[in-house]
């Protein structure tokens, strides 16, 4: 089975398994579908984005954004803020860039204002949840690319500046200065890490954010800082890749499970780094690309006949959560496949059909 056939199956699984009340997990799935832009999936993209816009709350937040309790991990409850609901705004803006429908830009403007009005830490970091003051590393990806895209398309430079500001604040609090790896969550009061492991997917989210920001605003005054962080975190994460090609759910804990979504995020971000010319001190770009290909192939080999990408740690992602599949796992499969497509022309997978 070649790459395009697998991509079609993974895409079909996304279409067959929508999550009506989700406000962020569908965002990478939409971005992945739009990257491949297969005609049969365009109606799904339009339907999901239109639904998010139709259910946008009066406070500006896109989609439902339910309050919920957790069945595992390091939190008991999660009250969504604009930092989470902004995630679906990024593919919404991509659709606006394609079709010019002003309704999408107007909806994004309301979502951006909700972000501006969200509660912040004393340094100005936008809280990850209503139970803050907290910053989570995954929220770099959920809100920074949206703000940068909005600023670029709406000619509102303050929004681009805010995207890079939030990136810097989150890195300052969450990336270990010695290990060069990100922790999951930091709480300002009391000052502590409620989830302090080097969570593989958290580092994946951060690296994917780096790639997005550099694609959107490569000439921003803070782009050099993003490139520096990108190189350091990517090299640090690369050193923990298992011989199988996977990454462990907790990067430096080989007793934790091998995890698919972080491995796909790495494959995507590593190949993007090669294409963006990110220089790593201890690794050539050829070596980095080889690691990205190995990461993608090992996950691709486990894709089920239905198109389901298994082996993904469930939300919120800390130790103790169950493993299954998620929309963002499906989405990052599509994104990794897309950026690596020219390197995978001879890919043949023997899936159990």
- Could you identify the residue written with the tokens 């090299």? 235
pLDDT at 21 over 80: no
pLDDT at 71 over 60: no
Count: domains in the chain:
1
pLDDT at 242 over 50: yes
* Residue 296, H or E segment: helix 285-300
How does pLDDT run across 198-241, given as a tens digit for each residue? 999 999 999 999 999 999 999 999 999 999 999 999 999 999 99
How does pLDDT run across 180-194, given as a tens digit for each residue? 999 999 999 999 999
Q: Is residue 225 part of a domain?
A: yes
CB 7 within 8 A of CB 337: yes
Q: Is residue 353 part of a domain?
A: no
For the record, the structure tokens of 60 come out as: 């500006």
Q: Is residue 127 part of a domain?
A: yes
Q: Is residue 293 part of a domain?
A: yes
* Residue 69, H or E segment: strand 68-69
Residue 326 gets the label, from left (phi > 0), alpha (psi -120 to 50) or beta, of beta
- Dist. CA 265–CA 182, nearest whole Å: 14
pLDDT at 137 over 80: yes
Which of 54-68, 93-107, 181-195 has the lowest average pLDDT? 54-68
Domain of 29, in residue numbers: 3-342
pLDDT of 107 reads 98
pLDDT of 77 reads 82
**Which of the four pLDDT bands, split at 50, 70 and 90, describes residue 101?**
very high
Residues whose CB is less than 8 angstroms from the CB of residue 213 and which lie 6 or more positions away in sequence, other chains included: 144, 145, 148, 163, 164, 167, 220, 223, 226
- Could you identify the residue written with the tokens 């799935």? 29
Where residue 155 sits, what CATH number does that domain have?
Answer: 1.50.10.10
pLDDT of 140 reads 98
pLDDT of 353 reads 43
- Phi and psi at 58, nearest 5°, equal -65, -20
- Dist. CA 63–CA 22, nearest whole Å: 7
Which of 81-90, 129-138, 245-254, 311-320 has the lowest average pLDDT? 311-320
Q: Is residue 351 part of a domain?
A: no
Q: Is residue 177 part of a domain?
A: yes
For the chain, the average pLDDT equals 94
- Dist. CA 163–CA 150, nearest whole Å: 10
- Dist. CA 71–CA 91, nearest whole Å: 29
Q: Is residue 41 part of a domain?
A: yes
pLDDT of 68 reads 59
pLDDT at 9 over 70: yes
pLDDT of 73 reads 61
Of 263, 233, 270, 238, the closest CA to residue 248 belongs to 263
pLDDT of 350 reads 60
Q: Is residue 118 part of a domain?
A: yes
For the record, the structure tokens of 82 come out as: 């604009």
């Amino acid at each position: 089975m070649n790459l395009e056939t697998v991509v079609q199956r993974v895409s079909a699984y996304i279409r067959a398994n929508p999550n009506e009340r989700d406000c962020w997990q569908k965002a990478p799935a939409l971005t992945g579908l739009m990257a491949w832009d297969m005609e049969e999936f365009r109606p799904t993209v339009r339907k999901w984005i239109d639904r998010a816009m139709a259910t946008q709350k009066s406070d500006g937040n896109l989609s439902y954004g339910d309050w919920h309790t957790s069945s595992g991990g390091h939190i008991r409850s999660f009250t969504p803020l604009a930092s989470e609901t902004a995630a679906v705004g990024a593919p919404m803006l991509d659709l606006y860039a394609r079709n010019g429908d002003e309704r999408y830009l107007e909806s994004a403007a309301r979502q951006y204002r909700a972000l501006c009005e969200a509660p912040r830490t004393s340094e100005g970091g936008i809280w990850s949840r209503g139970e803050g003051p907290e910053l989570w590393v995954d929220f770099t990806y959920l809100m920074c690319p949206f703000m940068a895209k909005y600023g670029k398309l709406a000619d509102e430079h303050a929004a681009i500046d805010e995207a890079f500001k939030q990136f810097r604040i989150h890195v300052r609090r969450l990336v270990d200065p010695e290990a060069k790896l990100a922790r999951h969550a930091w709480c300002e009061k009391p000052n502590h890490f409620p989830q302090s492991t080097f969570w593989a997917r958290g580092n994946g989210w951060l690296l994917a954010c780096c790639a997005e920001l550099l694609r959107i605003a490569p000439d921003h005054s803070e782009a050099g800082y993003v490139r520096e962080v990108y190189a350091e975190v990517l090299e640090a994460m690369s050193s923990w890749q298992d011989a199988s090609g996977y990454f462990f759910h907790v990067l430096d804990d080989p007793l934790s499970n091998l995890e698919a979504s972080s491995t796909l995020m790495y494959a995507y971000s590593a190949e993007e780094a090669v294409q963006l010319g990110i220089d790593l001190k201890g690794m050539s770009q050829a070596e980095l690309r080889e690691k990205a290909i190995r990461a993608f192939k090992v996950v691709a080999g486990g894709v089920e006949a239905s198109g389901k990408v298994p082996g993904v740690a469930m939300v919120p992602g800390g130790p103790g959560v169950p493993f299954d599949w998620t929309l963002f796992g499906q989405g990052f499969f599509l994104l990794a496949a897309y950026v690596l497509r020219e390197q995978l022309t001879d890919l043949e997978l023997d899936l159990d059909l």
